[in-house]
Structure 1
Amino acid sequence: MDLEGFNTIQVLHHLYNLDQLLIGKDYIRALVQRIGEELHVKYVMVGHAIEPEQTKVESDFMWADGQFVDNVIYDLEGTPCVHVLCGTRVNCYAQGVALAFPEDKMLTNMKIESYIGAPFLHTDGGLIGLLVIMDDKPLEEYETLQTVVEFCAARIGTEYRRIAFEESLRKVKENLEQQVQDRTKEYQLAFEKLQRTQRQMISQEKLATIGRITFGIAHELKNPLNVIINSAEIIQDLIHEDMCAESIEKLALMIHEHGDRANEIITSMLKQARQESEDTTESIDVPTLIDRSLEMCLRSLSDLSFKSDLKVEKDIGSNLKTLVVNPAGIERVFINLFDNALYAMSKKYHSEKAQGYKPIIKVALEKVEKNLKITIRDNGTGIPKKFLTNLFTEFFTTKPSGEGTGLGLYIARQTLQKSDGDISINSEDGQFTEIIIFLPHQELPSPTLNPTKDIATDKKRPTTNEAMP
């Protein structure tokens, strides 16, 4: 693939255009081949460090000169791979790698000129293995290649974790099947629920990993993925402890809820990238939608001190429905706005707690003529006046590097405008931020003539207390 004229996202889209039904080793093999062919590099290797010393690496997939070759085991000492395994980022030598590592005879024998390697990790940060591309000529556009290799390594790491997780589930399943032969019908029903939970977890993991395609998706997937991962770990513990199926099912519902949200985010972002329209008009109960969005954000808070001091004031009434385009997108708008408010208040809380600061978020909903007016106000850090005119500009963010993509408010306005709504922000630096959303209040048609799915009331969702066994 000639990288000239392509940005990083376009390169990733091109590489990721694989059969999405592939998983595990089949997916990794297909991705390794795609990397070699599309990037026109001579060698692509995916391997794992041999435990426990991790002084050697064994390749699991080895692409060389346009085909897969036999895997190898080699010592790490004196090779550039040592630097990859010791860190958590990409290690790049655009040229002269053999001269930089004269002890690595393989580089010399294979006439390797350039090298890029990236590790892939366990969820706790522990090392799984590494992805390496090598070529017999200097690398051009190596900065783009570094980003591509890092993203591909992360994607491959997900499949390695999936393989280990599926193997663990397979062993659990075999053990449970042996017990089922001597148990009652009630236990059989519990086992079937467990099987459904396993399939849901695998499906949601696959959906979540697709989020690495763009920074915007990664930004919005952060909260639902945290809930999915934590719930999955608890389910594993419950399976090994032979706990009741009811607790497992409740956690599975939470996984399903956040997995659906992740899937909707991915679908929406991909449609936006292809300039496709989302013209599905559905009924939503606005108070329920606001409640659920806020609850999702509060549930994801890990700062217990901030959470306990946070005061939430709501005046949103109940049973106030309207028709909107892309209801799931409207929900993401509220989630993003609540996330921003909690972020601003948490930042101020840790700097001014000693001075008696108490975080307060206020949410109000009222009918104004033919519109619904939603007001979200927080007493967080506020926004400097000079930034207010740029808040809805694509990729503009006031957050530090690595914490914001500048897409949240841009997408929020686009989503609301599709339903003939709008959003405005008023803020005073260091004092408050107030967001006002207008949505047209449209009368609902008769259910018998035009049945619609109310996403805000369609599913039974566990509360925080219900979700935990």
Structure 2
Amino acid sequence: IISSGKVWNGEIENRRKNGDPLYTQLLISPIIDNDGKVVGYLGSHRDITEQKQLEQQLMHSQKMESIGTLAAGIAHEVGNPLASISSIVQVLLRTISDDFAKDKLGLVEAQVHRITKIIRDLVDFSRPSNYQIQPTDIVKGLTDAVEIVKMGKKAKEITFVTHVRRQVPILPLVPDQIAQVFINILLNAVDALHGKRGTITSEVERDSERVRVTITDNGQGIAPENLSKIFEPFFTTKPVGEGTGLGLWVSYGIVRSFGGDITVTSAWGQGTSFCIILPLNAKEYGNG
């Protein structure tokens, strides 16, 4: 096209030295002499990385909103018959004496509880919270979450480190919800270490507009092909029965409801960092 004397305009994806994507818009114009021959080319490029990232964030937000609406319908349709099944199982457990039957009904009851938890997570994500926004000390919320997670059996060989780089003001949040976000991400970090020795570091910092809480582990990391899927519902790399794939999805919804965001960076075989970003001047984003 260019050699025929036409202008070429397109977008190119490259990588920066640190591995981050770099998107540029490239324009190449042929230089034509008096005889109409192409004697050279003039090119210009413009960095459109920020524009591309904003477009991707918009698409992701729209996708999550659609999934949330779908989740509300699924939770309603599944919840009602599940309640009936649970009631019948409990009645049978109280009335039968056969040990074999009781054992099998116990397994059914355990799976019913698992499905109920999945539905509860779906509902928590898809509907506006009824909790009241309160002045919240996120540093205390983070340290409390760390203390809770440290008590788990899988965390015995793990060292937990917390750094507060700069004093953080009280923020208008829902304390239980932001604690749920911290616990979900910390539990994921614990799972990434597979019970081995390791370190999970939580770091709190802020600038003039935002607070950032970064939780980093030195576990196995997230495979590159899975990195874009981790906030999708039901996506999990854990064995069947060990994870619902809803923890990060729900956490993402909670943070977005406060006008914030969650980002993730990971290197396979080296570890993962989740960054929870919250605005300093947070308003009541529909949670009151």
> Do 1:363 and 1:377's aligned partners in 2 also have CA atoms closer than 8 Å?
yes
> Do 1:9 and 1:214's aligned partners in 2 also have CA atoms closer than 8 Å?
no
Distance 1:212 1:360, change over 3 A: closer
Deviation of the 1:327 alpha carbon: 2.5
Q: Structure 1: 5+ residue runs without aligned partners?
A: 1-5, 18-27, 36-43, 51-56, 58-81, 90-118, 122-149, 156-210, 218-265, 350-357, 445-469
> Do 2:166 and 2:206's aligned partners in 1 also have CA atoms closer than 8 Å?
no
1:179-328 paired onto structure 2 within 5 Å: 214-216=116-118, 270=123, 272=125, 275-278=127-130, 280-299=132-151, 301-303=152-154, 307=156, 309-316=157-164, 320-328=168-176
How many positions carry a matched residue from both structures? Answer: 210
Picking from 80, 83, 95, the partner of 1:13 is 80
Q: Structure 2: 5+ residue runs without aligned partners?
A: 1-72, 284-288
Distance 2:224 2:148 in 1: 30
Distance 1:415 1:405, change over 3 A: same
TM-score (norm: length of structure 1): 0.39
**Corresponding position of 1:404:** 243
Distance 2:219 2:266 in 1: 10
1:32-51 paired onto structure 2 within 5 Å: 32=88, 45-47=92-94, 50=97
Distance 1:405 1:212, change over 3 A: closer
Distance 1:443 1:49 in 2: 56
Deviation of the 1:12 alpha carbon: 3.7
**Corresponding position of 1:420:** 259
**Corresponding position of 1:189:** none
Picking from 432, 437, 452, the partner of 2:271 is 432
Are 1:335 and 2:237 matched, yes or no? no
Deviation of the 1:323 alpha carbon: 2.7
- What are the Cα deviations for residues 197-224 of structure 1, in whole angstroms up to 9, with x where unaligned? xxxxxxxxxxxxxx6552436xxxxxxx
- What are the Cα deviations for residues 384-414 of structure 1, in whole angstroms up to 9, with x where unaligned? 0000011111111111111111101111111
Distance 1:396 1:324, change over 3 A: farther
> Do 2:215 and 2:274's aligned partners in 1 also have CA atoms closer than 8 Å?
yes
One-letter identity of the residue aligned with 2:160: V
1:431-450 paired onto structure 2 within 5 Å: 431-442=270-281
Picking from 368, 379, 382, the partner of 2:207 is 368
Distance 1:382 1:285, change over 3 A: same
> Do 2:262 and 2:276's aligned partners in 1 also have CA atoms closer than 8 Å?
yes
One-letter identity of the residue aligned with 1:289: G
SS in 2 for 1:337: helix
Distance 1:437 1:8, change over 3 A: closer
Name the structure where strand makes up a greater proportion of residues: 2
Deviation of the 1:154 alpha carbon: 7.4
- What are the Cα deviations for residues 290-345 of structure 1, in whole angstroms up to 9, with x where unaligned? 0000100001x225xx62x4222211268633334433111100000011111111
Q: CA RMSD in A?
A: 3.4
One-letter identity of the residue aligned with 1:120: G
> Do 1:425 and 1:435's aligned partners in 2 also have CA atoms closer than 8 Å?
yes
Distance 1:279 1:310, change over 3 A: closer
Are 1:386 and 2:248 matched, yes or no? no
Distance 1:343 1:410 in 2: 17
Distance 1:323 1:13, change over 3 A: farther
